[in-house]
Structures are given as structure tokens and as C-alpha cells.
Amino acid sequence: MPTTHLICLPFAGSGASFFKEWQSVAPEGLQIVPVQLPGREERFIDAPHTEAARAVEEIHSGVLDQLADAERIAVFGHSLGAVLAYELMHQLSVSQPASLSRLFVSGSPGPWNGREHRATGLDDEAFLAQIRAFAGYDHPALAHPEMRALLLPMLRADVQMHENYRPTSEKPLDVAVTALRGSEDELVDAEQIAQWRDATTADFRTAELDGGHMYLADDAESLLRLIATELEPVDAR
């Protein structure tokens, strides 16, 4: 089976380091391509994006060199990363149409369904409380005042980008889509995951893995095995 380059897009507040560790547990034939957005880790001094369309333009131009020799391309994104992945796949459908294999969207309603409750504009304590409710977890670094002051601008930018997101096209993809969730996710239910059916004219599947909203942080190996299986030809599954 040819190697598949799996482009991995960050959820709100995360960086590329979250995905870099995945390569060590990835099945054979899966090459992890982590994307680093500005405002975090080695790009800390760069201003973070607040508009999804601009973020995806940068992501697209940044990954093209890494995909020059790619036989197959797939894209994965969780929560904020899911809508960024959807937009990126639209751009790759123009620049790399022959190589595209599948889009994996995780922990997110369909792209036309925004949040009813917003965190943008709230004071710090109310903002962080809303983020805990959205994400179902609390990053330990936010308990430390100095780290909180460093991380809040990037986290606020990510949340604003997610809350203001609107699809750039009403046209569905012609690329296969798998929509994923944790089986105990209290934030995104199975019906919301199924909304992604309307995002493609090609094959569509849903899948659940053990865990809550952040299941991917607890068991990356199971997730990557599922992704590898989904990338196999239908008659080989």
C-alpha cells in the first residue's frame, strides 16, 4: 500500500507537538504531517490568526512543499481543527486533486452549525470557564498566572476564529469523509457528527472511539489504527 501523508490540524490552544508524537505509534504507511499555526511553540512571537480563511491559506501554502512527492493525502482535524481541515480539503481539491484520499473530522458538528454560546469578549475568568465547558478539560498551564498570561492571547484568537467561522463554499467535497467522536462525548453527539454527511458527495462514514471529547489525547494509537483502516480500499476492510 502506498504511503499516505496525514495532515494534522490543531484544536484550539494546541500546537504541532501534540501530533509529532503520533508518528511513533502510527501504522506502517502513515506519514504524520503536523501543522504549526502562529502564536504557539516555536512560532510564539507570530501573531495568531483570528480568521479561518486566512489561517487555511497559510496552511495550504505551507504544506504544499511537504506534499510534493505524496502518493496519497488525507487530512485530520479535531474541533476547531475539523473546520480548518474541511476548508483545507477544499483548497487541496484544486491544487492536489489526484492525491486526495479522505478527510477525517473529529469532535465537531457539521461545518454549517456554529456554537449557540460564545466565549469571545468575556473577561478572563468567564472566558476560561466557558472554554472548560466547550472542551471538557482544563489545560494545567492555565492554573499558573504567568503561563495563563502567555497562553490567553493565542487561545482567545483560536476561539474567535472558531466562533466566527463560516464555510467559504456551499459546494460539498467530492472526497470521502469519516466523522469521528468519543463515545462518551457530552459536547458533540452522534446526530451532530452525522451532519457531515452533507459535506461530501463521496463515501461517508461515522465512527466512535472510547472516551470523551478529548479521546484523541488518551489513545492516539487506536485512533491511528482506525484512520489506517479507513484509508484501505472498501473491499479490503
How far the first Cα of the chain sits from its last, in Å, is: 13
Residue 100 backbone phi and psi in degrees, to 5: -75, 130
Q: pLDDT class for 149, splitting at 50, 70, 90?
A: confident
Q: Does residue 237 register a pLDDT over 60?
A: no
Residue 122 backbone phi and psi in degrees, to 5: -75, 155
Its sign, for the CA torsion 229, 231, 233, 234, is positive
CA 175 to chain centre: 17
| CA 121/CA 130 separation, integer angstroms | 11
Q: How does the average pLDDT of the chain come out, rounded?
A: 89
Q: Which of 82-91, 99-108, 156-165, 221-230 has the lowest mean pLDDT?
A: 156-165
- If you average pLDDT over residues 153-167, what whole number do you get? 89
pLDDT tens digits, one per residue of 103-120: 999 999 999 876 566 767
CA 207 to chain centre: 16
Q: Does residue 140 register a pLDDT over 90?
A: no
Give the per-residue pLDDT at 131: 73
Q: pLDDT class for 130, splitting at 50, 70, 90?
A: confident
CA–CA distances in Å: residue 164 to residues 50, 80, 82, 129, 200: 9, 11, 14, 19, 22
What is the full DSSP assignment across 188-219? S-HHHHHGGGGGBSS-EEEEEESSSTTHHHH-
Domain chopping of the chain, boundaries: 4-230
CA–CA distances in Å: residue 138 to residues 1, 74, 131, 182, 211: 40, 29, 8, 17, 16
Its sign, for the CA torsion 130, 193, 29, 176, is negative
Give the per-residue pLDDT at 232: 85
Q: Does residue 160 register a pLDDT over 70?
A: yes
Of 216, 232, 220, which Cα lies nearest the Cα of 81? 216
What's at 214, amino acid-wise? Answer: M
Instruction: Write down the pTM of the prediction.
Output: 0.91
Q: pLDDT class for 11, splitting at 50, 70, 90?
A: very high
- If you average pLDDT over residues 43-67, what whole number do you get? 93
Half-sphere exposure of 119 (CA within 13 A, CB side): 23
Q: Which of 34-48, 60-74, 130-144 has the lowest mean pLDDT?
A: 130-144
pLDDT tens digits, one per residue of 166-209: 999 989 999 999 999 999 998 899 999 999 999 999 999 999 99
Give the per-residue pLDDT at 66: 87
Q: Could you tell me which residues come within 8 angstroms of residue 200 by beta carbon, excluding any fewer than 6 positions away?
A: 103, 172, 173, 174, 175, 176, 177
CATH topology of domain 4-230: Rossmann fold (3.40.50)
Q: Does residue 147 register a pLDDT over 80?
A: no
